[in-house]
């Protein structure tokens, strides 16, 4: 029986790839920075600070939420978004593990 190529990678590598993909767009990085400064935010407020439409901001928030980096609470017609402490703790752990494996100031080519 054939194995799926993703099965050849560790769970940690796959988790880190999800986080990296979620942070792989400058708008998402900007959203994370805004949420970090405010501690909590309503989506409409983010739109006022970013050069993006409401629907685009919502799509980026969806990606960040799917990666576990952002969480949202429904408050009537609004959703209040904030950074996920557990998601960011895991992201730090995954990235730290990768960075610890990389040699400093060593060129391999």
Q: pLDDT tens digit string along 10-62?
A: 999 999 999 999 999 999 999 999 999 987 677 678 888 899 998 999 899 99
Q: What is the DSSP string of 33-59?
A: HHHHHHSSEEHHHHHHHSSS-HHHHHH
Element (H, E) at 75: strand 70-75
Beta pairing, strands 78-83 & 70-75: antiparallel
User: DSSP state, 67?
Assistant: T
Q: What are the domain boundaries of the chain? A: 12-96
pTM for this predicted structure = 0.83
Which CATH number applies to 12-96?
Answer: 1.10.10.10
């Amino acid at each position: 029986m054939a194995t799926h190529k993703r099965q050849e990678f560790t769970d940690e590598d796959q988790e880190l790839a999800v986080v990296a993909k979620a942070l792989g767009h400058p708008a998402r990085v900007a959203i994370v920075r805004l949420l970090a400064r405010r501690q909590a935010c309503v989506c409409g407020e983010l739109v006022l600070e970013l050069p993006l439409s409401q629907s685009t901001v919502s799509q980026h928030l969806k990606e960040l939420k799917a990666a576990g980096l952002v969480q949202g609470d429904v408050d009537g017609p609004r959703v209040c978004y904030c950074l996920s402490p557990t998601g960011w703790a895991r992201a730090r752990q995954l990235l730290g593990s990768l960075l610890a494996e990389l040699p400093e100031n060593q060129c391999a080519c």
